[in-house]
Each structure stands twice: as C-alpha cells, then as structure tokens.
Amino acid sequence: MSRRPGYWVGRGFGGVVAAAAVLCLALGCKVDLNDEIEQLLGAMSAKSLEAEYAVDEDPLMNAYITRMGKSLVAVSGRPNLPYSFKVLDTDQVNAMAAPYGHLYVFKGLLDLVDTEDELAAVLGHEVTHVVARHSLKSFKESLLFDLVLSSFKNRKYNDAKTVLALGNLFRELRYSRVHE
C-alpha cells in the first residue's frame, strides 16, 4: 500500500517551514526556497521512514539497486540531485520516493519482480516522482489548507473546519492518484 505524499512529515514541521519561508522572503534570501524546502522534507521523510523500517544492509543488493537507479537518474530531468537508493527490510510489496532523491524499495517487491525490466520500471516511476516534485507540490497545497483551517479558532466554526478537512483529504487522495 502506498502512502500519500508528505505522510512521513509531521504537521508541526509545516509551521517551521512556513515560518522559514516567510522570514527568508522578508530578508531577501537568494536561495531557491523550493530546493531548500524539498531538501528539508526529504531529510525528515528519510529519517522517519528509516526509523519505522529497518534498512537492509546486504551490500550486493544495495549496490545493484543503486547502480540501476543511478542509470535511470542519469537520463532524468534532475540528474544532479544527491539520490540515494535503499532497500527496506519488510515483506510489503512497495517502493516509494521521498523528496529530494530518497528512494526506497521494499524487500517484498524484490521478492515479487521476475525481471530486471520490471524493477527498472518501478525505479523509473519513483525517479519520476522526484523529478516532478510531486511531494513538494502536495506539501505546499496541504500547508495552504492547514493555514486556512488554523484561521478558524472559534468553536462555532467546527463544522466548517470538518468540511474543509474532509475536502482536503479527498483532494490529497485525488492528487496522489493523478501522480500515479
């Protein structure tokens, strides 16, 4: 089962990133905020994923996945990111891309694929999520909804908050399916 983009990032980090973005804009920072935010989200996502699942330490398997992944990255639209490819030691059949080039293949998927071409197709799909910045786009939209929801502080707006929260959930599900 695939998790929605941004799932691994706690909501508390959204406020930190938003505050940093506002401060940076106010001070005239000369950095690409998208890259900075994506890098931060990627690091947090990777740390969270690797805390939940053990990373398989088989050097041959990891070298194989990395070699295949890097050959796909070389012909992608963002070949200069510091991509990392890791195998997670779980029977789940899944693969996922966290922001800024953190890619994971679950061991259950490796047990299921029959050919290198099948694995390359899965890795190529995940690289495409990174290239298109799907997680970053989803995070930005979620942050906007969170800001709107947080503006309803009065209890008399609880029904409106619930409707908006449900609407956001359905939007995220649709958004994720469109990317897949």
> Which of these is catalytic: 116, 126, 172, 180?
126
> Pick from 10, 69, 63: which is nearest to 41 by CA?
10
Please give the span between the terminal C-alpha atoms of the chain, in angstroms, as a whole number: 13
**3 state DSSP class of 84:** strand
Ramachandran assignment for 82, one of left (phi > 0), alpha (psi -120 to 50 degrees), beta (any other): beta
* Spatial distance between the Cα atoms of 109 and 89, rounded to a whole number of angstroms: 10
Q: Please give the structure tokens belonging to residue 92.
A: 């789940």
* Spatial distance between the Cα atoms of 42 and 23, rounded to a whole number of angstroms: 21
Sign of CA dihedral 50, 93, 89, 81: negative
Q: Check if 118 is active-site.
A: no
- Residues forming the active site: 126
